[in-house]
Structures are given as C-alpha cells and as structure tokens.
Amino acid sequence: MSSIDWNQIRAFHATAVAGSLSAAARQLGLTQPTLSRQVLALEADLAVALFERRGRKLVLTRTGLELLDHIRVMGDAADTLVLAASGRAQEIGGRVCISATDTYAAYLLPGIVARIRSEAPQITIAIVASNAFSDLHRGEADIAIRHVRPDRPGLVGRHIRDTEAGFYASGDWVARNGMPERPADLARAGLMGFDDPAFAGYLREIGIPVADDDFRIVSESSVVIWEMVRRGMGVGAMMREVAERTPGMVKLVPDMAPIPVPIWLVTHQELQSSPSIRLVQTIMVEELARM
C-alpha cells in the first residue's frame, strides 16, 4: 500500500465505532454500498481482515482492534482541527453547548443560563443533560461540568471548588418514620437508588449495609429520584446546593460525614480561543464558585 486513502480510513473508523455498516453510512452521509466498498478496499489494500461478519453484525478482528487504536489518534487529530477552526472563527454569538448531569441541568444551570442570556443574548445555549460523559473531542459539547478531573489529552479542566452530598427526606417522611440516627439506620429507611450496581457498593463503603436488591425504587435519573424524595416516598442522596433550594427537605443523620463532590469545568484546549466560549466559561466559573 503506497498511500493512505483517508476515505477508506474514515469508513473503517465509523463502522468500527458504530458497529454496523448502516449506522456508519448514516453518520457519514453515504450509501451503505459505498461505505461497504471503502471498507472492503481497505482490507484488500492491507491484505488483512478487519471485520468478521456475524449475521448483520460486524465484529473487529484482532488486527482490526490494533488498527483502530491508531485510527483513533488520527480521528482525534482531525476533530481537533475542526474544533480549532470553529473556535477561532466565532465572534460573540453562535451556539455554545453545555453538558452537565441531569441534577445540575435541572436545578443549578437555569440561574447560570439566565445570566448568560442577560449578558450575551446573541449566544444560543444548548444543554446536554446526561449522567454520561459527553465526548468533548467529538464535539458532543463545548463545556462540561464534571465531578472528576479530566484525564484525556487535549482537555482543559478547572477545579472550581468542592461541595458535598448527604441523605435527605421530606418533612412529611420524617414525621411518619422518625429521624435516622446512624448511617446504618438508612439501610432500613426506604432508600431510593440509582440503577447502577456500583451505587450499593459505595453505600456499603460509607457504613450503610445495603444489598443490591434492597432498593425498591431505582432510576438512572437523579432528578426522578429527587422528585420522589420530595413527595415523601423515601430517602435519597443529593448535593447540598440542590437540597437547600428544595423547600421542606430535611437532612438525615446530621453527624454523618458528608460525601465530597468536586466540581470541575472542562473544555477542549482548541476552543479556548473562541470569544463566546470564553465568555460563557467566565460566567460559569463565577456562578459555580458563588453557589
């Protein structure tokens, strides 16, 4: 193979990530036969099999997996080029996408976004409310509020401050059930949890002896859980800022050590030159620090 055909490389990368030719074709705006020909051409040029065909699914071979690691570096470089171009082309205005957990998006971002709208009404704010990380390298968001330090090359993180979380119930719930006195009491207090096996494990580490199947109400959304806590249906964990902004909530086991929650603001280094993103970041840093 004397030279690299970027279209073939791009076709392979999209297919590997999407897991099927049809999904990759939609992503790239190609027809499925065209995409298939590009993948087959790359396999022919390299004289290796990159996928195993299992019915309608494509599974990477060992060689395909090794090649994908190298392709990701090339893909990140291409994405960085696009990010750099878009960041430098903007004046104040355009679209800025903010990613945050559903809790932050529902309860804390509205006040921040209101200030952004007041000071820069020409900027369109798009909000991704998800407890999964948005891929800033792929442009899924421009700025992310996270609770862990960024660990991927190219990402710039600013530690705003640390907050804390605790366990809360409504005043009505406490009137019916009494006040739990120790962390272990919470295990019998109608805890509501997240649909994640790691959650019960973490609670056991901090002295709450619960099993994975002890939760009778679970959800992937902390907003859903918090609304049910607010309605007196049980006990849930929540960050202090949100609990203090929710009328009628009572902090349980006041002597229990709080759960630390760091707050990071993260973006891609190539977007630092965008005036719009710098302005939104500045406002977010000030508001998050003030809370």
Determine contact, residues 20/27, Cβ cutoff 8 Å. no
Question: How many other CB atoms sit within 10 Å of the CB of residue 110?
Answer: 10
pLDDT of residue 78: 59
Q: Which domains does the chain have, with CATH numbers?
A: 6-88 (1.10.10.10), 90-156+264-290 (3.40.190.10), 163-261 (3.40.190.10)
d(CA 137, CA 140) in angstroms, rounded, equals 8
- Neighbouring CB atoms inside 10 A of 150's CB total 19
pLDDT reading at 3 higher than 70: no
What pLDDT, on the 0 to 100 scale, is given for residue 64? Answer: 84
Q: Name the token pair of 32.
A: 């499925």
95 in Cβ contact with 126 (< 8 Å): yes
Q: Please give the Cα distance from 28 to 1 (Å, whole number).
A: 24
Which of 201, 95, 89 lies closest to 143 in space, CA to CA?
95
For residue range 236-275, list pLDDT tens digits in order: 999 999 999 999 999 999 888 889 999 999 998 888 788 8
Most confident among 6-10, 46-50, 248-252 (mean pLDDT): 248-252
| Among 290, 283, 275, 289, residue whose Cα is nearest residue 91 | 275
Give 17-63 as a DSSP string. Answer: HHSSHHHHHHHHT--HHHHHHHHHHHHHHHTS--EEEETTEEEE-HH
How does residue 76 score in pLDDT terms, banded at 50, 70 and 90? Answer: low
Task: Calculate ∠ Cα 17-266-199, nearest 5°.
Answer: 70
pLDDT in tens, 10-26: 888 888 888 788 888 88
What's the half-sphere exposure (Cβ side, CA atoms, 13 Å) at 62?
Answer: 0
Q: What is the mean pLDDT of the chain?
A: 86
Q: How far is CA 49 from CA 52, 62, 208, in A?
A: 7, 9, 51
- Sign, CA dihedral 44-49-55-59, equals negative
pLDDT greater than 50 at residue 88: no
> Among candidates 51, 38, 44, 30, which has minimal Cα distance to 8?
38
**pTM of the model as a whole:** 0.66
Tokens of 270: 């190539």
Helical ranges in the chain per DSSP H: 6-18, 21-28, 32-46, 62-89, 102-103, 109-119, 171-177, 197-205, 222-230, 240-244, 275-290
pLDDT tens string 201-224: 889 999 999 887 888 899 989 999
- Lowest-confidence region among 56-65, 77-86, 145-154, 202-211: 77-86
β-partners of residue 238 are 166
